[in-house]
Structure 1
């Protein structure tokens, strides 16, 4: 009797959930399983796939270009995650002390880069970095710093930091808005009590603001690290992985393998390793950054 009562609501709920599950299965779950299966084959996109087992993965872990892409990706994480987090938190602390009307204007202005397509941003910044007529080099020459004018995206040393600074500009406004939301969640009486007790701003930030913002810090880290591992369009439009693999990342390498060299099985293995890295990072962040109870 009890099970029959529960069966009715469950069946009705399944009717509403089933369309979403079917769409998810068709466009997410099935492609993921197909990529996993493809990673165990050698396929050029035309002939029948040839089963190679773990051959692609064995070759991958001996591939110097793949490890170069991982190293570049690890360096880019500082620009995608660490610097935007620090800048966003500092800006949130400053903007939160401004009156509401001015705060809305500043917050909108700083958040605006994040709402733009990253591919468009890459094209715009490629023009800004242009060594011949780009505004950055022209501005340096105009103020007498022509020695600092470089072919930014063509320099082996500066190409990766140049792309990274665009990622900082793209993500710091997003981080700021997340931290502003977290600061509005904190009870103002906590800060008032700290000021009455004579606590200095640095102490208040370390002991009160930072611990209470751990949920927001975790969200920011998760989203920006995932974005750094999945980075493609910004780098593709600016450098295409050059010069000489200086900005090569796994997704660019996967694109080159699949769409330029027709090594789809090997490219799928790169994609699976990237997905495993995302899961590993998510696990580490969830295990290490835990908000206090009641935060």
Structure 2
């Protein structure tokens, strides 16, 4: 028995070591591009001719060059406006639509829900032409408003279905009890249901914010004026016909990634709970 226990202990230890090594490899693969971006941003143009795992004579010259000679902060502001607006609109619309789909189960709502799910299967390339025609007819082409509408249209279907799952995980008895105590249907929804949907709202806000923040396809197709570009489009200006300003591009990419990292760090505690809260009914 002692020999068997030792053998079992050895297998568990070997499994633990293997799992740890595999985890480190996965983390290294995921983190290395970020590390390479930072190292490249800390190297000047002449020092970047020979790539190195460690920055050679590191400096912030590339960062200051980007901030002084490129309208990075203007692009940054445009990205923030588009991403925050998309997240706000998606959160409001998805809560209301998800609640209707979850609480009022009729043939009409079921058909509407399936239609929303079908639109999520359409690629962005298929949505671009009708969106461009609509924006052109509304005189919204080459404006941040057109970009907000496009990103909202692309993020909203999945946001609605996510919120529907969260609403279905809440027992309707809570709303009925609130109505017995004197609340209207809307009052019960606003005072009881919405506060309980906080984890789901966090998931929707993070999803729609990151989708709009990282968008390039719609931004490149609907915005023509350089002063209205978002940062994802502005990064392409560091590549010319014959050269690529790698340190400056990496410095701008690092600036571009900072808000997403901070935003994710602030909501990660709620996000972990939100990812599992809508998976269980009742």
The normalised TM-score by structure 1 is 0.76
SS at match of 1:198: coil
Distance 2:182 2:161 in 1: 29
Q: Deviations over 1:20-72 (max 9, x none)?
A: 7546634x322222111111123489944675511122233435510111111
- For the 8 Å contact 1:214–1:289, the answer to whether it is kept is no
- For the 8 Å contact 2:98–2:164, the answer to whether it is kept is yes
The residue that corresponds to 1:270 in the other structure is 252
Is it true that 1:195 corresponds to 2:179 in the alignment? Answer: yes
Residue of structure 2 aligned with 1:96, choices 96, 102, 113 = 102
SS at match of 2:100: helix
Q: Which segment drifts farther, 189-198 or 109-118?
A: 109-118
**1:265 Cα shift?**
1.1
Q: Deviations over 1:207-242 (max 9, x none)?
A: 211111011011111222222222212212333xx2
**1:119 Cα shift?**
4.3
**1:6 Cα shift?**
4.8
Is it true that 1:210 corresponds to 2:201 in the alignment? Answer: no
**1:186 Cα shift?**
0.6
The residue that corresponds to 1:113 in the other structure is 119
Aligned residue pairs, count: 267
Distance 2:113 2:188 in 1: 23
Residue of structure 2 aligned with 1:37, choices 36, 39, 49 = 39
Q: Which segment drifts farther, 30-39 or 251-260?
A: 251-260
Is it true that 1:243 corresponds to 2:245 in the alignment? Answer: no
The normalised TM-score by structure 2 is 0.79
Distance 2:240 2:6 in 1: 53
- For the 8 Å contact 1:214–1:290, the answer to whether it is kept is no
- For the 8 Å contact 1:163–1:238, the answer to whether it is kept is yes
Distance 2:196 2:20 in 1: 36
Any unmatched runs of 5+ in structure 1? 132-136, 138-148
* Structure 1 residues 46 and 266: alpha-carbon distance in aligned structure 2, compared to 1, 3 A threshold: closer
* Structure 1 residues 258 and 119: alpha-carbon distance in aligned structure 2, compared to 1, 3 A threshold: farther
- For the 8 Å contact 2:90–2:204, the answer to whether it is kept is no
Is it true that 1:71 corresponds to 2:77 in the alignment? Answer: yes
* Structure 1 residues 199 and 66: alpha-carbon distance in aligned structure 2, compared to 1, 3 A threshold: same
Residue of structure 2 aligned with 1:165, choices 145, 149, 161 = 149
Any unmatched runs of 5+ in structure 2? 278-282
Distance 1:44 1:234 in 2: 35
Distance 2:198 2:184 in 1: 21
The residue that corresponds to 1:285 in the other structure is 267
Please show how residues 253-264 of structure 1 align to structure 2 within 5 Å: 253-258=234-239, 262-264=244-246
Q: Deviations over 1:132-191 (max 9, x none)?
A: xxxxx3xxxxxxxxxxx53x324xxxx210121111111222221111111111112212
Q: Deviations over 1:226-273 (max 9, x none)?
A: 22222212212333xx22321x11221122214666111111111112
- For the 8 Å contact 1:80–1:164, the answer to whether it is kept is yes
Is it true that 1:11 corresponds to 2:14 in the alignment? Answer: yes
Distance 2:126 2:58 in 1: 39
